[in-house]
Amino acid sequence: MEHDFWLQRWREGQTGFHQARVLPLLQKHWPALGVAPGGRVFVPLAGKSLDMLWLAEQGHRVLGVELSPLAVEQFFAEHHLTPAVHASRYGTHHVAGPIELICGDAFGLDEAVLADCVGVYDRAALIALPPELRARYAGELQARLPAGCRGLLLTLEYPQQQMPGPPFSVAESEVVQRYAPAWQVQRLECRDILAQEPHFAARGLTALSTVVFRLERAAHSIRSHQA
């Protein structure tokens, strides 16, 4: 999607994708990844997610990136945090304790800024992007993470013809296509959530599932194949 689309969504308060609680699936599956406390966890298209606070509470350093200045401002204001602010070629960095949130374009991040990320958490980034940007996201941005990086990827699966995205439906076959062989991909859980998401049913969906994948960056630098 174009930058202006997301900036407008935040300006108009159309942020139904934001959840007012820590995601239970994150709490359930993250500990088994074995990401060492003190390790840095990358959170792309972070918004003002409470999941960043939870990751920090587990002892991790968090590196988020978010396009909208409003989202960044609201994150720190709502949690009574006063960040130190500085600029770099990546955007405007806001740092408070173990949490660093860059206001900028995720695709502008490079290997240098991501070099010490030992974990990655994607709840709503891949599914926010149309197919052509999903190819770039997995093949370029995610490929800049270092070997051995482990994390969780959450997707949605629904009949795409019943509702235009975002969020988009991303099938398991596409996840494997986008990430393998540069990443080891393991499906951990698939959960029917339509009954818990009435606003999606109101938009015409007859089925809706969320799927959790475990990811691990391969030790060699093979880029994922794209369609």
Q: Is 123 within a domain?
A: yes
CB–CB of 193/209 below 8 Å? yes
Q: pLDDT digit string (tens) for 15-54? A: 666 577 999 999 999 999 999 999 999 999 999 999 999 9
Question: Considering the domain boundaries, does residue 111 fall inside one?
Answer: yes
Residue 132 lies in a domain: yes
Taking the C-alpha atoms of residue 56 and residue 193, their distance in angstroms, rounded to an integer, is 27
Confidence of residue 223 (pLDDT cuts 50, 70, 90): very low
Instruction: Share the mean pLDDT of the chain.
Output: 92
Q: What pLDDT, on the 0 to 100 scale, is given for residue 219?
A: 81
Asked if the model's pLDDT at residue 177 lies above 60, the reply is: yes
CA distances to 36, 56, 66, 79 from 99, rounded to whole Å, are: 16, 7, 13, 12
Of 167, 93, 84, give the one whose Cα is nearest residue 129: 167
Q: With pLDDT > 70 as the criterion, what percentage of the chain qualifies?
A: 92
Contact 179, 135 (CB under 8 A): no
The verdict on residue 191 lying in a domain is yes
Reported as a pLDDT band with limits 50, 70 and 90, residue 227 is very low
| CATH number of the domain encompassing residue 108 | 3.40.50.150
DSSP 182: T
Mean pLDDT along residues 146-155:
98
Is 0.85 surpassed by the pTM of this model? yes
Query: What is the per-residue pLDDT for 6?
Result: 66
Residue 41 is part of which domain span?
Answer: 3-11+23-217
Number of structural domains, the chain? 1
Do residues 215 and 184 lie in contact, with contact meaning Cβ atoms separated by under 8 Å?
Answer: yes
Query: What is the rounded CA–CA span in Å between residue 95 and residue 92?
Result: 10
What is the model's pLDDT at position 220? 61
- For helices 69-78 and 3-11, give the axis angle rounded to 10 degrees: 40
Give me the mean pLDDT over the 62-91 stretch: 96
Report yes or no on 225 lying in a domain. Answer: no
What are the DSSP calls for 68-135, one per residue? -HHHHHHHHHHTT---EEEEETTEEEEEETTEEEEES-GGG--HHHHTTEEEEEESSSGGGS-HHHHH
